[in-house]
Structure 1
Amino acid sequence: TIQLSDKSVFGNAKITMMFDPKSYELRQWTITDAQGKDTTVMIFNVKEGVSIPPDMFAIDYTANRELNTKTR
């Protein structure tokens, strides 16, 4: 486990990264924000050599802008 923080950059925020003790592969990280709230990401069931379509993580900024500017 490695914990990093830099008050000059992140304020009171920090990141804690957990690695597999045998392979040293990153398995999990937790971000603690300035308000003390945690967000954790866990990595498991990893498959190597898998093709991912280039548009899988595409963001439609036009649709996003239109959705977020509608009057509610």
Structure 2
Amino acid sequence: MSFIKVFGLITASALGTAGTIYGGHSVVDYVKERNKLKGRLDLAEYNLSNIEAKHRQAINTLVTERDALKTALDKTR
């Protein structure tokens, strides 16, 4: 047998047994689950980023308001 045929048989055998590596699920199931988890992680990171941006906006607004009030108070002295 040529090297390619032997390598192909070994690869096919490895892929055939790979299904039992992940708790009896196939590699395809493992990849689907991993992709689903990756999608959920991406969504969580996106939502967190939006919340952080909104908080930054609110903080900046409060800082601006505080500075304006300090300036107004200083002018009354």
TM-score (norm: length of structure 1): 0.26
Higher normalized helix content (fraction of residues): 2
- TM-score using structure 2 length: 0.25
Higher strand fraction (1 or 2): 1
| Structure with greater contact order relative to length (CA < 8 Å, sep ≥ 6) | 1
Larger radius of gyration: 2
